[in-house]
């Protein structure tokens, strides 16, 4: 037990049903909303700052990041191609936006044009070969290595064009109407000295590099136009040079255009069957029925208890209830010294007030004053207030009675007209005088 009375906070209690504690009620207060807000104000302010920074970042850079798919026919962003699609529709071309090869098969006709931009290389070689045979005219933008192997094995990559002027200089009508394209884009290469009638290169950057290569399908006789530079078709660059004329000339010859951007739906399904495929058909209805039964049972059982009862806080709890509850806890855990310390704290505080000392008086001051008024030896008073350690319930009860007797003797000694007792009145054996007949009130 601490030597300073002001540091003692445990209320008095008694083991085995003995009364202890302050007279009156103990108030238990629930923290108010204002206190909770004040306690968590830092985190609220921090979350608000983070949210504000995120909103500013989205507003500043969200326009370019939320631009949608590149060359999408319904995308109005600079990387989209909605401007070209709308112009084609105004010219009477029926444009169908497709996101899978199955949709292309359903939409393509005998005299249709297919626009293909496989940015993420979703299609395999079989799908690409099938796509090249579907339409009379296929325009492939930014083909990758697999696309070239499937549609034009003799065509390779030519790197980035270093020419400042990309003139048509070929027999393709759409290229001649365009006259020139935006410089600096990717190119394709045709083997040197090739005079194959199925290969045509336009907008040359060098001897064998071109910005447009047309290949004739020797199986179906259809034309496949390979355009390595995707910038020619987007909203940002469609109006530059002859980009629009080339795009309209390649995509507008027929009345039907299928605008195809492959997605994950085109990937072949691999791996073991999913859990849904392995689950029998009756499992889902049974699970739904069980969930409905559980909800109904919960509603049925909850209705038995009736509505919730509102309770006003703070709640006033009787001191006797807290005293008895604490005493039972001490008794259950055999915390004899803990219980005795609680009794001693209350006794020392009352003794300090009885002998005229404050609640913050030092323990040694209280011991000296009590010994002076009662005539007992300071060691005896210290043993009762601090030193003795109970080893059994009987010793705990004896020390509790000794504390009560010491308070009674001190109260008798400090009454008006009473003189401090002589030291000689202490018994030679050092035993404490017997306690009074009545017990101390809580």
Most confident of 204-208, 302-306, 314-318, 424-428: 204-208
Cis peptide upstream of residue 312 (ω within 30 degrees of 0): no
Strands (E), 45-184: 94-98, 113-116, 137-141, 156-160, 166-167, 180-181
- pLDDT, mean over the chain: 80
141 pLDDT band (50/70/90 cuts)? very high
pLDDT at 306: 64
Residue 316: pLDDT band (50, 70, 90) is: confident
Is residue 421 predicted with pLDDT exceeding 80?
A: no
> What are the b/e assignments for 398-421, b being 16+ CB within 10 Å?
ebbbbbbbbbbbbbebbeeeeeeb
CA 296, 297, 300, 301: dihedral to nearest 10 degrees? -150
Q: What is the pLDDT of residue 94?
A: 95
Write the DSSP symbol of residue 220: T
- pLDDT at position 314: 73
- pLDDT value of position 7: 38
Q: Which residues of 287-322 are buried (b: 16+ CB within 10 A; e: fewer)?
A: eeeeeeeeeeeeeeeeeeeeeeeeeeeeeeeebeeb
The mean pLDDT of 67-81, rounded to a whole number, is 89
Q: How confident is the model at residue 26 (pLDDT cuts 50, 70, 90)?
A: very low
pLDDT at residue 361 above 90?
no
Is the pLDDT at 215 greater than 80, yes or no? yes
Q: CB of 246 within 8 A of CB of 181?
A: yes
List all residues 6 or more positions away from 294 whose beta carbon is below 8 Å from its beta carbon: none
Residue 246 clears pLDDT 90, i.e. is over it: yes
């Amino acid at each position: 037990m601490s030597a300073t009375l002001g540091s003692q906070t445990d209320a008095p209690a008694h083991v085995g049903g003995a009364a202890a504690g302050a007279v009156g009620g103990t108030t238990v207060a629930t923290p108010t909303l204002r206190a909770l807000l004040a306690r968590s104000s830092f985190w609220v302010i921090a979350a608000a700052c983070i949210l504000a920074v995120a909103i500013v970042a989205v507003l500043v850079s969200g326009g370019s990041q939320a631009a949608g798919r590149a060359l999408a026919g319904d995308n109005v962003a600079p990387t989209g191609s909605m401007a070209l699609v709308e112009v084609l529709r105004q010219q009477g071309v029926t444009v169908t936006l497709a996101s899978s090869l199955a949709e292309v098969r359903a939409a393509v006709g005998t005299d249709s044009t297919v626009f293909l931009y496989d940015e993420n290389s979703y299609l395999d070689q079989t799908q690409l070969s099938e796509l090249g045979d579907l339409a009379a005219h296929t325009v492939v933008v930014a083909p990758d290595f697999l696309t070239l192997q499937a549609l034009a094995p003799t065509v390779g990559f030519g790197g980035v064009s270093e020419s400042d002027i990309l003139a048509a200089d070929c027999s393709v009508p759409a290229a001649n109407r365009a006259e020139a394209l935006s410089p600096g884009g990717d190119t394709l290469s045709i083997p040197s000295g090739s005079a194959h009638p199925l290969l045509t290169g336009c907008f040359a950057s060098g001897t064998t590099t071109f910005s447009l290569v047309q290949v004739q399908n020797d199986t179906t006789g259809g034309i496949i136009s390979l355009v390595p530079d995707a910038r020619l078709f987007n909203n940002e660059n469609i109006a530059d040079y002859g980009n629009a004329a080339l795009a309209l000339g390649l995509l507008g010859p027929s009345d039907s255009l299928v605008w195809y951007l492959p997605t994950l739906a085109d990937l072949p399904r691999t791996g073991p069957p999913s859990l849904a495929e392995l689950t029998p058909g009756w499992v889902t209805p049974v699970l739904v029925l069980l969930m409905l039964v559980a909800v109904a049972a919960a509603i049925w059982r909850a209705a038995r208890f009736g509505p919730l009862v509102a309770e006003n806080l703070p709640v006033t709890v009787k001191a006797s209830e807290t005293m008895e509850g604490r005493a039972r806890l001490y008794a259950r855990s055999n915390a004899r010294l803990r219980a005795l310390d609680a009794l001693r704290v209350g006794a020392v505080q009352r003794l300090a007030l009885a002998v005229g000392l404050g609640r913050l008086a030092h323990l040694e001051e209280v011991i000296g004053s009590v010994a002076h008024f009662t005539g007992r030896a300071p060691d005896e008073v210290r043993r009762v207030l601090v030193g003795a350690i109970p080893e059994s319930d009987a010793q705990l009860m004896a020390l509790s009675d000794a504390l009560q007797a010491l308070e009674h003797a001190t109260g008798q000694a400090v009454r008006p007209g009473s003189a401090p007792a002589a030291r000689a009145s202490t018994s030679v054996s050092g035993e404490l005088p017997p306690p009074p007949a009545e017990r101390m009130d809580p």
